[in-house]
A and B are shown apart, each in its own frame.
Chain A
Amino acid sequence: MRFIKFIRRGMSGRRKSDSGQQDNGSKNQKKENLTANQEPRNQDLSSDLQTNLRQIRAILSECSDVIYREFDFAQDERIKLALVYLDGMVDKTRVSDQIMHSLMLDAPLVEQGEEFTRTRVFAIIKKRLLPIQQIEETNNLDQVIDAVLAGDAVLLVDGCACAVINDAKGWESRSIEESQTELVVRGPREAFVETLRVNTSLIRRKIKNPNLKIEAMKLGQITKTDIAIVYIKGIVNEQVVTEVKERLNRINIDSILETGYIEELVEDNPLSPFCTVLHTERPDKVAAQLLEGRVAILVDGTPYVLTVPLLFVEAIQSPEDYYERPMFSSVMRLLRWFSMIISLLAPSLYIAIITFHHEMLPTALLLSLAAQRETVPFPAFVETFMMEFVFEILREAGIRLPRQVGQAVSIVGALVIGQAAVQAGLVAAGTVILVALTGIASFTFCYYASTSIRLLRFPIMVLAGTLGLYGVICGVLAILVHLATLRSFGVPYLSPLAPLNTDGLKDVAVRMPWWTMLRRPRLVGMANPQRVARGLKPAPPPTRGKR
């Protein structure tokens, strides 16, 4: 229970200060206007079709992709209709087959002698003549414009101050492909795409439960990007959900082009080198996070999904750990922890030992290192720092490069920088090995953590170059203290290590079998802790007599 208090305290404290800020903000400037147009319109539709069209044309002037289709109503040709939609944003077959066809061509309805009066025509169209899944009625001009821009087809009826918004969204989009950045050997391969609806469906397909809630909102005053907040009611900590909504509602920005925008605006510690919000493009990972009691934030237009709260230990957890056999996964996890240490500390330990503490090395190793370094004109610190720098350049080039020239960079990198530099005596072979190892080790754990580790490697190298091992240890301690100050949506970042939770340790350095991980991670999924029934350890059936 004390852990619950932990969370509550963290949050209530923050909320207080947040609302304080909001008050200040609202006093000074009432939700700043960041849209392109200066004054907000708030206009209703008129009952005259031509007036409406003129107004829409005025607002959407110089937008060559808007299509205005005017036609007569098949039931009664005195009634004029108009359809407004964006070319390329709507599904053309749907517009022609399901909207225009039924309104223009279908035989008149036999309505027991009743007349098509102008007053009833709107209701009849809505009820009987639009065989389309989702329609909405509006009398507000802004809403009509927004709907057109979002990819809906809007039907205007002469004589009515109303419009029907037909859901006809259908644009070209990437199909679901294999994840490019988070690969697994065993496990589902699909990854999120750029369309929000497809992404929510990918999650829904994994969790077929009415408690999976998908709340929608729009952010970005100009881009009006669709956002979805996804969580499982009954597992999630309700306070985290309200906290997420509060922080999202506070965002007032012109555009949201990627989840990164949101991540930076909702983080607990924006100035930390460490990520406190997870981003992933794997639906299975998001589903697992939701099932542990986390909240996911989906943004239209990007395959990356955010989940909160994030714990530090998740950096070495791969979805595959839970699909592979636990013993193997555990060893891999230990390997990843070790790689993390290598990737953070190997160069600085090398610098410290070569510069200050040679006597810590066995004599044979020391001699071989000294022989290699004989021709090297730089001190160990400069040499290693330089090589790390070069490696980072190669890596960055490797990412940005057009595919066709990728080959060239790897040849240049491997041959010129590796072999030639050693042969020329500019760099010791040991340094090259070390830098390569450091670089490769940083790929074993999650990418978002490797970015922070890469960043922190350099200051620690400086400390090692000036103060030796003492500097390295101090650097590590400073990082540790910093990690201990972090919270992600109220949850201490280092949990379950600190505050220590022995139950949570089953999923940190090792991955225990599923039949032992009975509870969800504490502090995250404590609203509903039990997830696996007791006594599931499989055993062979008792033998009955002789076979």
Chain B
Amino acid sequence: MLEGGKISSRQAIFLMVSMVLPTAFLFMAAAIAHLAKQDGWISLLLAVFAALLIAWLVVNLSLRFPGQTIFQFAEVILGRWPGKVVAFLYIWWLIHMNAEILRQFGSFMVSAFMPETPIIVFEILVTVIAAYAVRNGLEVFTRVNEILLPIILAMVFIVNILLVPELNLKRLLPVYIDNGAVPIIKGAIMPSVWFGEIVVMAVLIPYLNKAKEAYRVAASATLITGSILIFSYVNSMALYGPEAADGWIFPSLNKVRIVNIANFLERLEALIMFVWVAGGMVKISIFYWAAVLGSAQWLELKDYKPLVLPVGVIILALSIMAHESILGLYTFLATSALPFWIVFQACIPLLLLIAAMLRGPRKTRH
């Protein structure tokens, strides 16, 4: 096997939570608030449900081909060349996705903290660290994440707790009546697509210690992420009300700026920056690893390490040229990206699953 590492179920849950949480935590609230207002938490609940379906789909598909990643079993299902095409699409999607994440990362750093620094500086530094982690294998960034995630969660939790005195739960009212079903459902699309990143499980499952627990891993990761995001969303709504939250790009950051304890701990942006850089690094590492591993499997190489740095260069270059400005990024994320990602997260896996079921018991060809 290309990747020698194996990770435990707990480590996998940690990874999957880190994979979805950091970007979602910062970027999602505004988009949901735009559509579903104070009922955004219902959208999030719907999204969690949708994500569970995606997770079930992907895990079910993967478990039919033990020890194989999606890049390999696509060939088993569809035959050599069509399979290669599907695998290539997935590699492209992962690289593209990673470029977008990197762009989000850099955009946030630039617009929230250091507007005079060119975005490439932030992107290069984090890519180099991620490359170092990926080059050392799955186990290494899994372990890094095992240390970082509890710290990140603690910080998110602390920030939200510190705001409790400022909350006004009346801002969450009225529930449902003034919105109706359509905005809520539309508001659920974006978060479900972000949760749908769980599709990376199709690459990760062969490297689980106990592949049987994959369902549990995917489900608990989705539920944990979902509950944290709902908690944070409700908190934002109760703090600002829907109108204000809609107006900001990063409500979570503005939240932190409100915190003021005893006139000393005033601006805890450093916490958010840590959450964002650490979480972003892990998230980038996961997609980066999946992309590199996929490329190596697609080309049937013996080792994926030589590809790490070149793929990193491609990701960096793509992320720089993908958008003119943060506005372009934001429109893309809120519009075209959604159906594009749904294709890769739900449609292709669904087709693959149907094809695999039709093919029947020929699942152990390798």
Residues of A bordering B, CB below 8 Å: 2, 5, 9, 13, 356-357, 359-360, 362, 467-471, 473-474, 477-478, 480-482, 484-485, 492, 494, 497-500
Quick check: is B167 within 8 A (CB to CB) of the other chain? no
Chain B CB count within 10 A is highest, among A474, A480, A484, A494, for A484
The residue that B126 contacts in the complex, of A2, A13, A356, A474, with Cβ under 8 A, is A474
User: Are A500 and B132 in contact (CB-based, < 8 A)?
Assistant: no
User: Contact at B132–A362, with CB atoms within 8 Å?
Assistant: no
* B144 close to chain A: CB less than 8 A: yes
Contacting pair A470 B109 (CB below 8 A): yes
A-B contact pairs, 20 of them (CB 8 A): A2-B8, A357-B269, A357-B270, A360-B267, A362-B263, A467-B125, A468-B114, A470-B109, A470-B113, A470-B122, A470-B125, A470-B277, A473-B274, A473-B277, A477-B148, A478-B129, A480-B147, A480-B148, A497-B147, A498-B144
A75 to B267, CA, bound (A): 96
B4 close to A (CB within 8 Å): yes
Q: Is the CB of A2 within 8 A of B6?
A: yes
Residue of A nearest to B282 (CB): A477
Binding-face segment, B135-143, B242-250, B294-302, B343-351: B135-143
Check: B168 CB closer than 8 A to any chain A CB: no
Given contacts A469-B270, A473-B273, A484-B141, contact A500 B146 (CB under 8 A): yes
B281 at the interface (CB under 8 A from A): yes
Q: Tell me, yes or no, whether B254 is within 8 Å of chain A by CB.
A: no
Which B residues lie within 8 Å of A360 (CB)?
266-267, 269-270
- Collect the chain B residues with CB atoms within 8 Å of residue A485's CB: 136, 140
Contacts of A481 in B (CB 8 A): 129, 132-133, 136, 140-141, 144
Are A484 and B140 in contact (CB-based, < 8 A)? yes
Known: A480-B147, A485-B136. A9 touches B4 (CB 8 A): yes
Q: A2 to B5: give the CA distance in the assembly, Å.
A: 12
- CB contacts (< 8 Å) of B186 on chain A: these are none
Q: In this complex, what residue of A is CB-closest to B150?
A: A500
Residues of B within 8 A of A5 (CB): 6
Q: 8 Å CB contacts to A: which residues of B1-27?
A: 4, 6, 8, 10-11
Whether B81 sits at the interface, judged by CB under 8 Å, is no
- Determine the distance from Cα of A188 to Cα of B350 in the docked complex, in whole angstroms: 68
- When A477-B277, A485-B136, A485-B140 are in contact, do A356 and B114 touch as well, CB less than 8 Å? yes
B7, closest chain A residue (CB): A499
Q: How many residues of B contact A (CB 8 A)?
A: 38
Q: Is B321 an interface residue (CB 8 A)?
A: no
Select B117's contact among A359, A362, A467, A473, beta carbons within 8 Å: A467
**B325 interface residue, CB < 8 Å from A?**
no
- In this complex, what residue of A is CB-closest to B275? A473
Chain B residue contacts of A480, Cβ below 8 A: 144, 147-148
Give, as a whole number of angstroms, the nearest-CB distance from A43 to chain B. 52
Nearest CB on B from A480, distance (A): 5
Chain A residues near B273 (CB-CB < 8 A): 469-470, 473
Nearest B-chain residue to A463, judged by Cβ: B125
What residues of chain A lie closer than 8 Å to B129, measured between beta carbons? Answer: 474, 477-478, 481
The answer on a CB contact under 8 Å between B267 and A359 is yes
Q: Would you give the shortest CB distance from B247 to chain A, in whole angstroms?
A: 22
Chain A residues, CB < 8 A from B132: 478, 481-482
Which residue on chain B has the smallest CB distance to residue A1? B209
Which of B122, B140, B263, B274 is packed against the most chain A CB atoms within 10 Å?
B140
Q: Are B136 and A499 in contact (CB-based, < 8 A)?
A: no
Q: Are A477 and B266 in contact (CB under 8 A)?
A: no
Majority SS at the chain B contact face: helix
Cβ of A492: which chain B residues have Cβ within 8 Å of it? Answer: 139, 143
Quick one: which of B126, B143, B274 contacts A499, CB cutoff 8 A?
B143
A473 — nearest CB in chain B belongs to which residue?
B277
Tell me if A494 and B270 are in contact (CB < 8 A). no
Known contacts A362-B264, A470-B273, A474-B125; decide if A498 and B147 are in contact (CB<8 Å).
Answer: yes
When the two chains form their complex, are residues A484 and B143 in contact, meaning their CB atoms are under 8 A apart? yes
Task: Decide if B143 touches A494 in the complex (CB within 8 Å).
Answer: yes
Q: Are A469 and B113 in contact (CB under 8 A)?
A: yes
Instruction: Given A360-B267, A360-B270, A481-B133, answer yes or no on A470-B10 (Cβ-Cβ < 8 Å).
Output: no
A362 touching B125 by the CB < 8 A rule?
A: no
Contact partner of B143 (CB less than 8 A), chosen from A13, A359, A469, A498, is A498
From A362, A468, A469, give the contact of B266 (CB < 8 A): A362
B11 in contact with A484 (CB, 8 Å): no
Supposing A470-B273, A477-B129, A477-B277 touch, asked if A2 and B144 sit within 8 A by C-beta, the answer is no
A484 partner residues in chain B, CB cutoff 8 A:
133, 136, 140-141, 143-144, 147
Contact string against A for B residues 327-363, beta-carbon threshold 8 Å, 1 for contact and 0 otherwise: 0000000000000000000000000000000000000
Chain A residues with CB under 8 Å of B277's CB are 470, 473-474, 477
**Given A470-B122, A473-B278, A481-B132, 18 additional A-B pairs, CB 8 A:** A360-B267, A362-B264, A467-B117, A470-B113, A470-B125, A473-B277, A477-B148, A477-B281, A481-B140, A482-B132, A484-B140, A484-B143, A484-B144, A492-B139, A492-B143, A498-B143, A498-B144, A499-B11
Q: Does B177 contact A (CB under 8 A)?
A: no
A9-B4, A498-B144, A499-B11 known; A477 vs B278 contact (CB < 8 Å):
yes
Cα of A425 to Cα of B113 in the assembled complex, Å: 32
Residue B182, interface by CB 8 Å: no
Bitwise, B112-127 to A at CB < 8 A (1) or not (0) is 0110010001100110
| Complex interface: chain A residues within 8 A of B11 (CB) | 499-500
Enumerate chain A residues within 8 angstroms of B122, measured Cβ to Cβ.
470
With most chain A CB atoms within 10 A of its CB, the pick from B117, B125, B142, B146 is B125
Interface residues of B in 259-287 (CB under 8 A from A): 263-264, 266-267, 269-270, 273-274, 277-278, 281
Query: B residues within 8 A CB of A482?
Result: 132
Minimum CB–CB distance from B258 to chain A (whole Å) comes to: 14
Which residues from B are CB-within-8-Å of A359? 267
Distance, CA A499 to CA B147, complexed state (A):
9
Cβ-closest 9 pairs across A and B: A498-B143, A498-B146, A484-B143, A485-B136, A473-B277, A481-B133, A484-B140, A484-B144, A474-B125
- A356's nearest neighbour on chain B, judged by CB, is B114
A500: chain B residues within 8 A (beta carbon): 10-11, 146
B12 to chain A, nearest CB (A): 12
Assembly CA distance A497 to B14 (angstroms): 13
State how many angstroms separate the Cβ of B23 from the closest Cβ of chain A: 17
A490 CB to nearest B CB, Å = 13
Q: Which residue of B lies closest to A5 (CB)?
A: B6
Docked complex Cα distance between A448 and B132 (Å): 25
Q: Is the CB of A13 within 8 A of B267?
A: no
> Which residues of chain B from 276 to 322 have a CB within 8 Å of any chain A CB?
277-278, 281
Residue of A nearest to B122 (CB): A470
Considering the complex, give the chain B residue whose CB is closest to the CB of A352: B270
Among candidates A470, A498, A499, residue contacting B114 with C-beta atoms closer than 8 Å: A470
Whether the pair B146, A499 counts as a contact (CB closer than 8 A) is yes
Give B138-183 interface residues, CB cut-off 8 Å to A: 139-144, 146-148
Question: A485 to B129, alpha carbons, bound, how many Å?
Answer: 12
**Residues of chain B contacted by A469 (CB below 8 angstroms):** 113, 270, 273
Interface pair A494/B147, CB less than 8 Å apart: yes
CA distance A325 to B297 in the complex (A): 55
Once the chains bind, are B140 and A13 in contact (CB under 8 Å)? Answer: no
**How far in angstroms is the closest Cβ of chain A from B300?**
22
A226–B109 Cα distance when bound, in Å, is 58
B133 and A467 contacting across the interface, CB-CB below 8 Å: no
Q: Whole-angstrom distance between the alpha carbons of A468 and B116 in the complex? A: 12
- Inter-chain CA distance A420–B125, complex, in Å, is 40
Q: Which of A2, A359, A470, A499 has the most CB of B within 10 A?
A: A470
A497–chain B nearest beta-carbon distance, Å? 6
- In the complex the two chains form, what is the Cα distance from A500 to B14 in whole Å? 11
User: Considering only CB atoms, which chain B residue lies closest to A482 in the complex?
Assistant: B132
- Measured in the bound complex, the distance between the Cα atoms of B278 and A474 in whole Å is 8
Q: A440 CA to B143 CA in the complex, in Å?
A: 31
Residues from chain A with Cβ under 8 Å of B10 in the complex: 500
Complex: chain A residue closest to B136, CB-CB: A485
How far apart are the CA atoms of A526 and B277 in the complex, in Å? 36
